[in-house]
Amino acid sequence: MPLTIGLTGGIGSGKSTASQWFEQQRIAVVDADIVAREVVQQGQPALQEIEQAFGAWVLEKDGTLNRKALRNHIFQNKEARQVLENITHPKIRESIIHQLQMIQSPYGILVSPLLFEAQQDQLTQRTLLIDCSEATQISRASQRDQQSIEQIKMIIATQMPRTEKQKRATDIVLNDTSQELLFSQLRALHLKYLALSEVTE
Ligand code: ADP
């Protein structure tokens, strides 16, 4: 497996913007959010297990997962969230490992909002936190999504605190100002990761 960098950050911090920049440098990016959607698609064993655990209401009429209903159900219910994660997380992990093994670029990026929470950082050699103030997160996420400021604040409250992520991350990039400044910081890290990938080869 090539050198793998785990990329994370809270909602609206700039994870997707950063991972798109790495893709433009021809660095392979594995997106844990996409994998999480794939494992609950129709025909996948996880979907059947979720139905057995929660009941038929978790399915739409066409048999696909009613993501909104499930999300609402687990949002304030820790036990239910745990049940769901016990089903999905091992499958997500397995698929991530498989995709990381296929990477052809000098190093790879694993982008995940739950990199630390789901211990996916264990699959990486270094971690990169895209970091910004809560005010910036709220303003960017509310402009991007059809969500109220209250909803975004609630999501931030359920995520691991910024200070905790800062403690765990190997590298931190501040993204409170322009995209140009974000990209110039990423460029410096990209050169560092390329050099590191040659050492670890
Ligand atoms: P995340 O994936 O962490 O939720 P995104 O990368 O989607 O965050 O960024 C949230 C929103 O903020 C997007 O609309 C994105 O285009 C915008 N954005 C990200 N970084 C910057 C920046 N430095 N300046 C201005 N807008 C930004």
Q: Does 8 count as an annotated binding residue?
A: no
Fold match, 1-27+107-201 / 32-104? yes
Query: Which residues lie closer than 8 Å to 5 by C-beta, 6 or more apart?
Result: 107, 108, 109, 110, 124, 125, 126, 127, 128, 193
Q: What is the pLDDT, as a whole number, of residue 22?
A: 98
Q: What is the mean pLDDT of each run of 10 residues along the chain (201 residues)?
A: 95 97 98 97 96 96 95 90 95 97 97 95 98 96 90 91 97 97 98 91 58
* Domain layout of the chain by residue ranges: 1-27+107-201, 32-104
Q: Taking the CB of residue 191, how many other CB atoms lie within 10 A of it?
A: 10
CA distance 75 to 81: 7
Q: What is the pLDDT, as a whole number, of residue 121?
A: 97
- Alpha helices (H) along the chain: 15-24, 32-38, 45-54, 67-75, 78-101, 134-144, 149-158, 162-168, 179-200
Q: What is the pLDDT, as a whole number, of residue 201?
A: 58
> Does the domain spanning 32-104 belong to CATH 3.40.50.300?
yes
- pTM comes to 0.93
> Does the domain spanning 1-27+107-201 belong to CATH 3.40.228.10?
no
Q: What is the pLDDT, as a whole number, of residue 145?
A: 85
- Residue having the nearest C-alpha atom to atom 10 of ligand 1: 12
Residue 11 Cβ < 6 Å to ligand 1: yes
Between the alpha carbon of residue 175 and those of residues 22, 85, 87, 152, the distances in Å are 15, 30, 34, 18
Tokens 């993204």 -> residue: 175
Pocket test for ligand 1, best of 29, 140, 156, 180 (most atoms within 8 A of CB): 140
